[in-house]
Amino acid sequence: MRKRIGAVVFLVFFAFLLLSVYDLHEFGAPPSEMDDYIIKNTQNETGANNAVTAVVFDYRGYDTLGEATILFTAVAGVMVLFRKGGENEE
Amino acid sequence: MKSEGLSPIVQTIAGILFPMILIFSFYVIMHGHLTPGGGFQGGAIGASAVVMLIVAFGAKNIEKKIREEKLSAFESIGGVVFIAVALLGLVMASTFMSNFLVGDIIFGKIPPFGSNLGILNSGGILPILNLAVGMKVIGGLSAVVLVMALASKEEKNDI
């Protein structure tokens, strides 16, 4: 029973993904005006030649802050997990 | 010293390569706004240098030189710099994380439009943020690997 439900859910999800593929833009067509804007204005607005870095650190700076938070959380978790036991540990 | 780590040949080569890899990592981080790469990638390169030292010399000997708390503090300094620069955008300009250094003296040059070699002294706050993220990644990944290597060593000794 559980396997059948899982199979149905999988098929529905798979069909959803397939349908979303049909909704994609044609290959090579510009998906939006955003990329043209970034290509034209990156060097003037951020002064950086690397548009990828400009997007990651400037236009989408919040995402990078979240990434840094993820890294910090991961390191903190590992430090808590693998720290040496103290002397008075019960 | 003899019980841990690899042979003296590997240790010598690792000692020679370590500063070079660190310099390359610093280059990738500081040229993040001009060439492919940036804070995360350069930080991973730098952390791999520390991992090479840990493999060559053994985690115990490395821990005598750098404590993992120091590495963790290094990471936290990177995070604080990142958020401080982002908050400075709120003070100097209007919004959080706005690029307020463009047109300024430091990192403020604006390159000509189109593909060109680029100017190192450009990018606004991007180089500073890259440096902060690089510090975070170097400190964080090295601390994680060091702590895990120490833990696996202790497990072996217990058995």
* pLDDT, tens only, B108-158: 888 888 888 888 888 888 899 999 999 999 999 999 999 888 888 666 666
Asked if the C-beta of B43 comes within 8 angstroms of chain A's C-beta atoms, the answer is no
ipTM: 0.81
More confident residue, B122 or B26: B26
Rounded CA-CA distance B34/B53 in Å is: 30
A25 falls within a domain: yes
Q: Compute the half-sphere exposure of residue B150: CA atoms within 13 Å on the CB side of its CA.
A: 21
* Model pLDDT, residue A12: 96
Rounded CA-CA distance B144/B151 in Å is: 11
- CB contact under 8 Å between A64 and B133, yes or no, is yes
Please check the confidence at residue A29 and state whether its pLDDT lies above 80. no
- CB contact under 8 Å between A82 and B148, yes or no, is yes
Chain A nearest CA to B155, separation (Å) = 11
Q: Which of A75, A79, A80, A84 to mutate to test the interface with B (most CBs of B within 10 A)?
A: A75
E strand segments, B11-127: none
Structure-block tokens of residue B25? 């990592």
Please check the confidence at residue A30 and state whether its pLDDT lies above 60. yes
Domain count, chain A: 1
- CB contact under 8 Å between B133 and A68, yes or no, is yes
A:B CB pairs within 8 Å: 113
What is the sign, positive or negative, of the torsion defined by CA atoms of B55, B60, B64, B69?
Answer: positive
Q: Which of A38, A49, A84 to mutate to test the interface with B (most CBs of B within 10 A)?
A: A49
* pLDDT, tens only, B40-75: 999 999 999 999 999 999 888 888 888 888 888 999
Chain A nearest CA to B6, separation (Å) = 24
A56 falls within a domain: yes
* Model pLDDT, residue B151: 84
* Model pLDDT, residue B113: 85
A89 falls within a domain: no
A90 falls within a domain: no
A87 falls within a domain: no
Q: Which domain holds residue A51?
A: 2-82
A88 falls within a domain: no
Please check the confidence at residue B38 and state whether its pLDDT lies above 80. yes
Extents of the domains making up chain B: 8-158
More confident residue, A87 or A9: A9
Chain B nearest CA to A75, separation (Å) = 6
Asked if the C-beta of B152 comes within 8 angstroms of chain A's C-beta atoms, the answer is no
* Model pLDDT, residue A88: 55
Compute CA A32 distance to the chain's CA centroid, rounded to the nearest angstrom: 19
A48 falls within a domain: yes
More confident residue, A67 or A25: A67
- CB contact under 8 Å between A65 and B122, yes or no, is no
A75 falls within a domain: yes
